[in-house]
Amino acid sequence: MSPILIAMVGWFVSPIIHSLLPKILAGIGFDASKKLQELEIHIIPELKKTLQAVDQERMMQRGNRVKTDLDALDKMAAMLRHALENTVSEVKSSSLLVLAHESKPNDIANKNRRRLGAANKREVFGREALRDNIMARLRETPQGDAASSRTSPCYSAIGIYGVAGSGKTTFAGYVRDYIKEECKEEKLFDTIMCIHVSETFSVEVIFQEILKEALHGKRFLLILDDLWVKNKNDQQLEELISPLNGGLKGSKILVTARTKEAARALCTDELIEMPDLDEDQYLAMFMHYAGKSIAVKEFEQVGREIAKKLHRSPIAAVTVAGRLGANPNISFWKNVAKLDMLNDTMDALWWSYKQLNPDIMRCFEFCNIFPRRFKLDKRDLVGLWIAQGLVKTSCPTEDMEGVAEGYTQELVSCPFLRPDDYSEECFAIHDLLHDLLAKVAGSDCFRIENTWSHIGEGWKGEVPRDVRHLFVQNYDGELITKKILALENLRTLIIYVVGGTPVEEKVIESICKRLPKLRVLAIAFTKKHFGMRKSNKLSVPKSIAQLKHLRYLAFRTDMACSITLPRALTKLHNIQLLDFSGGRMLEFPFADLVDLRHMFCWPNLKFPNLGRLVSLQTLPCFTVSNEQGYEIRQLRDLNKPQGRLRIKGLQNVKSKEEALEANLAAKERLTELGFEWDDDTRCSSEVEAEVLEGLCPPAGLQKLDIFGYRGSRYPD
């Protein structure tokens, strides 16, 4: 067997490389999921060719030693493929762990699938002169003699400041993309990084993306977006900048900030105020976000009147135009042009918000639970909205997840949600829209941004007694026990642990006993916290059964740990989503949870009597065995699974008729299928061929992977 192949597989499935690779790629400015997909495109076809050659050689070679080596190669290929898929999945996942009033929910979803394509990409208008100014400064080379070069920093900084909503973040991204796409040949920088800093930032978190080793000996461009400077983070700013001196001379930092004073903290000379767009440029941007269907002269005339009232605020233009584009009625436009409230940016955002469907309003208000610029994962949002009963369907058979995705599309088209640069499955909310949310959500949603707890300056405020949805950033045991456990009406508790101490199991037990109205309980652990434990184990307490209303339960970690679930979990008859990402469980004997819709867990988890979970939509893997409850017919009545499904242990399926009992052809929402034969007890090649033929996949399948198959033929 090739030593190179062995080394390659061993490197890629290494737990260390598997956990670090996404962070390394993100830290040096690569789109990790794209790179892994490219890797998959190049490696997997070659593996398939190799395996085809192996199959041919297997027909000629009969020695046991040869068979052993070839079987090992099969296993390595499967391991590599699984590592690729899992890493791509982890890169895409989030760090947590979330029109007209007479419109029906499904109408909203369908309408926005038509409008979303143009609205997703943020266009830039009238910034060519500013771009050229910045590019000239970025191209400048350092001056001075050798002695001064040794003592001065390797980088210089450029600051851009302006009021909230003036387009600083969009422009910084525009410059980054311009350098990557239009200046490839110049090779201005070896590494480009873009980090959002915000009002309260953690050097520890940012260092996950800025890797000191990645900068050593390289000319870099670092974009620090939305820099705030306060007395208590002055030292943090120095700690953030100090490792940058390992780069080459000529490196640059581009800073955006709301105030000149904040920008000056890093940029002593190069300060540029964000200029206003001229009237024609602003109108062009306004009409662009209203949509191509509005591009007629009558609408443009009224649009010019509305645009004049917005005082050339980019965020106001994008949101107001998005709402107008959803209602292409000239009378409606003319009535809007008469509104005086559009003269103020916040009032314009308020008007845009009031045009939303009431159900979508409530879902957007729920987003106020998250910190500013928190990366919102679509999967999380959809699950949380459904768990809180915020998603309304027009009939009992309508799919709630489809309606909720329509809500996200509507919010993106507004755009109240901004798609992430590297993943359309993740979103952020503009700071001004967060200000709006704080006003409209009232005390229902509350967040504790406990950023400074690790230096003894934790959150000292009071939690509103009537709060229903609470997000805690950075765990603090005293905060939980003294203030949060008294919130009897709490419906949502999300503890997002960034630093500090882990959430003790006794605290989890207290939560279960003292907060009986919870519908959502989500706790995120990190590798650092499990490193502080005596063993990498988490036992969910029996008191979890007291949360009778619980619909969403998540214990997430970025490393493998053993999770023990009590039998009492079967009493949670309302549970819809279980997320134990990163955790290992040997078995999930909870077939009584008939309302369970989504299960995110270790792929080798055993599911006995899976056939009872007829509402299940997300299932990572099913392993067939000869034990009762693990037959392939358990899949027969599960017609709602969507996305990807891997079926292992197919050597335990003995006939075509038995394979047909899986009824895979009826599972039309699946896009990817994986079939896997292991080496335990093999059937004849003819039986395996018949089994594969019986595993007839749905017609719309996009991807089919087959591992360990030794059948005599492939189906026609």
Q: Give 595-640 pLDDT, tens digit per residue.
A: 999 988 877 777 889 899 999 999 888 999 999 999 999 999 999 9
At 102 the pLDDT is 33
For 175-190, letters b (16+ CB in 10 Å) and e give bbebbeeeeeeeebbb
Answer whether residue 100 shows pLDDT above 70: no
Of residues 633 and 49, more confidently modeled: 633
- Domain count along the chain: 4
Of residues 557 and 648, more confidently modeled: 648
Whether 199 and 319 map to the same domain: the answer is: no
Close Cβ partners of 569 (under 8 Å, ≥ 6 residues apart): 540, 544, 545, 575, 590, 593
Report how far residue 448's alpha carbon sits from residue 262's, in angstroms, rounded to the nearest whole number: 25
At 705 the pLDDT is 94
pLDDT in tens, 297-314: 888 899 999 999 998 999
Answer whether residue 472 shows pLDDT above 50: yes
Whether 258 and 331 map to the same domain: the answer is: no
Whether 120 and 192 map to the same domain: the answer is: no
**Per-residue tokens: 45:** 């076809």
- Mean pLDDT of the chain, nearest integer: 77
Q: Which of 20-29, 421-430, 681-690 has the lowest mean pLDDT?
A: 20-29
Whether 242 and 190 map to the same domain: the answer is: yes
Tell me the percentage of the chain whose pLDDT exceeds 70: 71
Whether 203 and 116 map to the same domain: the answer is: no
Residue 443 domain flag: no
3-state secondary structure of 597: coil
At 133 the pLDDT is 87
At 84 the pLDDT is 47
**Which of 79, 77, 90 shows the shortest CA–CA distance to 50?**
77
Residue 672 domain flag: yes
Q: What is the mean pLDDT of residues 250-268?
A: 83
Q: What is the mean pLDDT of residues 30-44?
A: 43
Report how far residue 156's alpha carbon sits from residue 671's, in angstroms, rounded to the nearest whole number: 49
C-alpha distances (whole Å) from 530 to each of 95, 202, 335, 370, 471 are 17, 20, 59, 24, 21
DSSP alpha helices (H): ranges in 502-603? 505-514, 527-531
Cis peptide before 328 (omega within 30 of 0): no
Whether 353 and 292 map to the same domain: the answer is: yes
- Classify residue 550 as left (phi > 0), alpha (psi -120 to 50) or beta: beta
pLDDT in tens, 308-363: 999 899 999 999 998 998 888 899 999 999 988 788 889 999 999 999 999 999 99
Do the Cβ atoms of 249 and 218 come closer than 8 Å?
Answer: no
Answer whether residue 647 shows pLDDT above 50: yes
Report how far residue 191's alpha carbon sits from residue 169's, in angstroms, rounded to the nearest whole number: 19
Do the Cβ atoms of 349 and 319 come closer than 8 Å?
Answer: yes
At 176 the pLDDT is 86
Domain that holds residue 712: 606-716
Q: How confident is the model at residue 51 (pLDDT cuts 50, 70, 90)?
A: very low
Q: What is the mean pLDDT of residues 403-428?
A: 88
Report how far residue 467's alpha carbon sits from residue 492's, in angstroms, rounded to the nearest whole number: 9
Whether 377 and 417 map to the same domain: the answer is: yes
In the chain, DSSP finds a helix count (H) and a strand count (E) of 26, 22
pLDDT in tens, 62-77: 444 444 544 555 555 5
Residue 487 domain flag: no
C-alpha distances (whole Å) from 427 to each of 29, 255, 422, 444 are 18, 22, 10, 22
At 522 the pLDDT is 94
Close Cβ partners of 212 (under 8 Å, ≥ 6 residues apart): 243, 246
List the CATH number of the domain containing 187: 3.40.50.300
Q: How confident is the model at residue 519 (pLDDT cuts 50, 70, 90)?
A: very high
Residue 461 domain flag: no
Most confident by average pLDDT, 82-91, 262-271, 273-282: 273-282
Residue 578 domain flag: no
CA-angle at 679, arms to 685 and 63, nearest 5°: 70
Q: What is the mean pLDDT of residues 198-221?
A: 60
Q: Is 220 exposed, middle or buried (0-12, 13-18, 19+ CB in 10 A)?
A: buried
Where does a domain end: 43, 69, 92? 92
**Per-residue tokens: 108:** 């909203």
Report how far residue 216's alpha carbon sits from residue 200's, in angstroms, rounded to the nearest whole number: 27
Whether 213 and 299 map to the same domain: the answer is: no
Q: What is the mean pLDDT of residues 416-437?
A: 88
- Helix %, strand %, coil % of the chain (to 5): 45, 15, 40
